[in-house]
């Protein structure tokens, strides 16, 4: 079982921000910004490459809800999903990083 599936199962503790039947948002263990939250589907999907339009549509609504819950929706935030080796993906369970809470640097 992958590390994020273990988090979903409660085998590894997490700091939950928001949860519903299909998705979980929790604090990244090694934050890269004042606010750094990971958003994952509860079903195991390797990466964005394997996402379906239906799951992505539901996840879009959930991510917007997470931004509202964190109070960052109007000030802004950054979403990142790393895909595969060249994308720097370390955990093989699709996740979106939500970074916020400060002026973020340029990604260029």
Residues that bind ligand AMP (CB under 6 A): 3, 12, 14, 28-30, 38, 82, 88-91
Q: How far is the CB of 89 from ligand AMP (least distance, A)?
A: 4
By beta-carbon proximity to ligand AMP, the closer residue of 28 and 58 is 28
DSSP conformation class of 21 = S
Per the annotation, the verdict on 97 as an active-site residue is: no
CA gap 102, 99 in Å, rounded: 9
Listed residue (1, 97, 95) closest to 48, CA to CA: 95
Minimum CB separation of residue 86 from ligand AMP in Å reads 12
Pairing of strands 96-100, 35-41: antiparallel
Q: What are the catalytic residues?
A: 95
């Amino acid at each position: 079982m992958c590390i994020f599936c273990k988090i979903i199962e409660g085998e590894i503790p997490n700091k939950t921000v928001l949860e519903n039947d299909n998705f979980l948002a929790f604090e990244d263990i090694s934050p890269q910004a004042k606010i750094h939250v990971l958003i994952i589907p509860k079903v195991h999907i390797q990466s964005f490459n394997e996402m379906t339009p239906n799951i992505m549509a539901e996840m879009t609504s959930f991510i917007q809800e997470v931004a509202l819950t964190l109070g960052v929706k109007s000030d802004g935030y950054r979403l990142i999903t790393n895909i595969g080796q060249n994308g720097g993906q370390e955990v093989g369970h699709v996740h979106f990083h939500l970074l916020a809470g400060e002026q973020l640097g340029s990604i260029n």
